[in-house]
Amino acid sequence: MLFFKLIARIQFLLTSTNQHGVHSPFVFDFVTKGLYQKSLKLIATNDFLASQKLRKKEQKILAKITAYFGVESIVTSVNELEITSSNSYKILFVNTIDNFNFDILPVNTSKLIVVLHGIHDNKATQEKWGQLCTYTKATVTIDLFYFGLIFFREAQAKEHFKIRV
């Protein structure tokens, strides 16, 4: 498994890009003003991060995502997602990609970010990530190697990005 992850990381580095390869204004702003920011304001996700046992790099990336989008809460189940109903972005954090299914998501997903952890852990998770990227309602998918991000933006053409962080 470690060998597979090493090979997957090398393949990712060879095919991924930075902000210069991004032609979507939404993703370009997210990469330059969010992921590549040096100063990091850690918001109240520390309890969540500790409970998920994420590595330091993964914690920093998730904190940058939440800071950029002004996420108020990170939930791990769709039931929690339906209870919170505000106009800010919400993150649905999925720790195991194997059981994820788009059919369980609520209808109004324009302010939802699905964060999938471990998309390159093994061949099965990598294939599942590839299948999820082809889902019609998932308009923007971003592969950060550590996480897969799925956005449901109505006004944007379907695109997939591989971004080095």
> What is the rounded average pLDDT for all residues in the chain?
84
Specify the amino acid at residue 21.
G
Question: What percent of the chain shows pLDDT beyond 90?
Answer: 32
31-46 per-position pLDDT tens digit: 999 998 886 655 545 5
Find all residues with CB under 8 Å of 27, minimum gap 6, and list them.
140, 142, 159, 161, 163
pLDDT at 1: 63
46-65 per-position pLDDT tens digit: 556 656 778 888 888 988 99
Q: Of residues 41 and 71, which shows the higher confidence score?
A: 71
